[in-house]
Structure 1
Amino acid sequence: MDKIQIKNLEIFANHGVFPEENKLGQKFVISATLYTSTRKAGKTDDLTASIHYGEVSQFITKFVQEHTWKLLETVVEQLAEAMLLQIPHLEKVELEIKKPWAPVGLPLETVSVSIERGWHTAYIAMGSNMGDKKAYLDMGVLGMQLTKGCIVEAVADYLATEPYGYTEQDEFLNSVMKIRTILPPHELLDRLHELEQEANRVRVIHWGPRTLDLDILLYDDLILDDEELHIPHIEMHKRDFVLIPLAQIAPWVRHPVYNQTVQELLDRLK
């Protein structure tokens, strides 16, 4: 991915743990690496097809001066989020904020915090087999649309399927949605659990009836396994009610473990 760099932008602002830092203020130095595609702008000489580094510099300055936080970590985290949400064509940003002559009682030149944040593509499985199933799936989609830092890009057709695992229950309505998100995986999982709770989801029987079930299937090409989360979803390659709707909106996406496309996994399952 192409990069546009802004180095050592000097800003006078009011951030710090001590009250006098918030009142009197001091100089901060910010560097930003903006990841985007410059191909179209380079071929057309059209500034609107790229990122205007002058406007971005003004954006950074205004944002940092209009807020007051104690920690550099908060400044740079909030700034990165605001940039990703408000600057067109920005796919990823690396930020470094330096605080010269930080008041630590020792002769140091500067302290700094650096982070990298960006947009990610995730696929979310949806299922319901209680009450108004379509309404619950619609609720899940709307909930993601209203989630800060998430954009719903596609939703597969709703598919009626027989129950999986525990079979003594009503048939399911299933689907998959594609989202773009700046949320890291565990924060995305927390948000999905919140949406399930809003739908009065009760976890009593494993694979049992539920008003709304939301699972992360894929998150970029990430492979993650811990106590709370498995990406890719460990059962997705075995489930036609996942692969059929996923193949409708993303047949070319490749499973990062099995190195097969979604369509190939579905054909193999059939």
Structure 2
Amino acid sequence: MDIIRIEQLEIFAYHGCNEEEKRDGQKFYVDANLYTDVMTPGLSDDLEDTVNYAKACKFINKFLTENRFDLIEAVAEQTTRALLKEFPKITKVDFTINKPNAPIKLPFGNVAVSVSREWHKAYLSIGSNIGDKEGYLNQAVDMLYDDENCKVGAISKFIQTKPYGPVEQDDFLNGCVEIETLYSPQELLKAVNAIEAAANRTREIHWGPRTLDVDIVLYDDEIVADSNLFIPHREMHKREFVLEPLVQIAPYAINPISKKTAEQLLDELRGQSENVNSGCAGCQGCAMRK
């Protein structure tokens, strides 16, 4: 990806923990790499096709002077996210806030914090089998639209599916939503849990009925294995109700563990189901006859 560089942008602002910093202010210097398409404006020579770096500088200056933070870590994090939200053509930002007059009682040249933030692509599986199923799924999508840290892309058609697991319950309505998000995986988990809570989701029975279920299926090409979060979803290759809507909107989305596309996983799952239904277990005799 191409880059527009901003170097040593001088800003006088009031960030710091000490009272004198809050009262008197000081100079900060910002370095920023704005990742964006430069080829298109390079060929068109049209300002509308590029990120206006003068406007970006004014935005950074305005944000740093209108907000006050105790930590320059917060300055870097909040300014970077604000930039990505304000300028749609920017896909990623490397941001450094320099504080050369930090209150350190020793000789030093500079103190700085650098962060790199970008929009991440994720796929969410949504499902409901209680009450107004379609209403709950639409509520989840609406809440994603309302979240300033998410941009909703493609939305699959909703499909009716049989429940997964041993619990007797009503059929599900399932779908898949593509989003771009500034959230980290753990932040996104908190966000989708909040969406579930807004639909009065409870977790009384494993694989039991629920008003709304929102699962993170894929997040870029990342592999996450935490105590409360696994990405890609550990059961996605076994669940047709996850794969079918995903294939509708992203057939070539890749599971970073198996290295297989959603379309390949769905074809394999349906092939296994056909073998089971026909009484074939994929025995050695079948393999020899091929």
Name the aligned partner's letter for residue 190 of structure 1.
Answer: K
Q: Distance in 1 between matches of 2:134 and 2:54?
A: 47
Instruction: Determine helix, strand or coil for the equivalent of 1:100.
Output: coil
Contact 1:102-1:108 at 8 Å conserved across structures? no
Instruction: Determine helix, strand or coil for the equivalent of 2:127.
Output: strand
Counterpart of 2:235 in structure 1 is 235
Name the aligned partner's letter for residue 243 of structure 2.
Answer: L
User: CA shift at 1:131, angstroms?
Assistant: 0.8
Spell out structure 1 runs of 4+ moving beyond 3 A: none
Counterpart of 2:288 in structure 1 is none
Counterpart of 2:58 in structure 1 is 58
For the pair 1:186 / 2:186, whether they are aligned, the reply is: yes
Counterpart of 1:73 in structure 2 is 73
Instruction: Determine helix, strand or coil for the equivalent of 2:95.
Output: strand
User: CA shift at 1:209, angstroms?
Assistant: 0.6
Give CA-to-partner distance per residue, 1:180-214, whole Å, 9 cap, x none. Answer: 11111100000111111111111011111100000
TM-score, normalising length: structure 1: 0.98
TM-score, normalising length: structure 2: 0.91
User: CA shift at 1:221, angstroms?
Assistant: 0.7
Instruction: Determine helix, strand or coil for the equivalent of 1:246.
Output: helix
For the pair 1:31 / 2:31, whether they are aligned, the reply is: yes
Q: Distance in 1 between matches of 2:19 and 2:57?
A: 27
Q: Computing the radius of gyration over CA atoms, which structure comes out larger, 1 or 2?
A: 2
Counterpart of 1:174 in structure 2 is 174
Counterpart of 2:219 in structure 1 is 219
Counterpart of 1:258 in structure 2 is 258
Name the aligned partner's letter for residue 160 of structure 1.
Answer: Q
Q: Distance in 2 between matches of 1:96 and 1:266?
A: 44
Give CA-to-partner distance per residue, 1:119-160, whole Å, 9 cap, x none. Answer: 011000001111111111111111111112101111111111
Which stretches in structure 1 are left out of the alignment for 5+ residues?
none
Q: Distance in 1 between matches of 2:207 and 2:261?
A: 26
Q: Give the length in aligned residue pairs.
A: 270
Counterpart of 1:144 in structure 2 is 144
Q: Distance in 2 between matches of 1:166 and 1:69?
A: 52
Contact 2:26-2:101 at 8 Å conserved across structures? no
Instruction: Determine helix, strand or coil for the equivalent of 1:68.
Output: coil
Contact 1:11-1:28 at 8 Å conserved across structures? yes
Counterpart of 1:124 in structure 2 is 124
Give CA-to-partner distance per residue, 1:88-118, whole Å, 9 cap, x none. Answer: 3000001000101311221212111000111
Counterpart of 2:108 in structure 1 is 108
Q: Distance in 1 between matches of 2:21 and 2:167?
A: 63
Which stretches in structure 2 are left out of the alignment for 5+ residues?
271-290
Name the aligned partner's letter for residue 92 of structure 1.
Answer: K
| Percent pairwise identity | 48
Contact 1:17-1:71 at 8 Å conserved across structures? yes
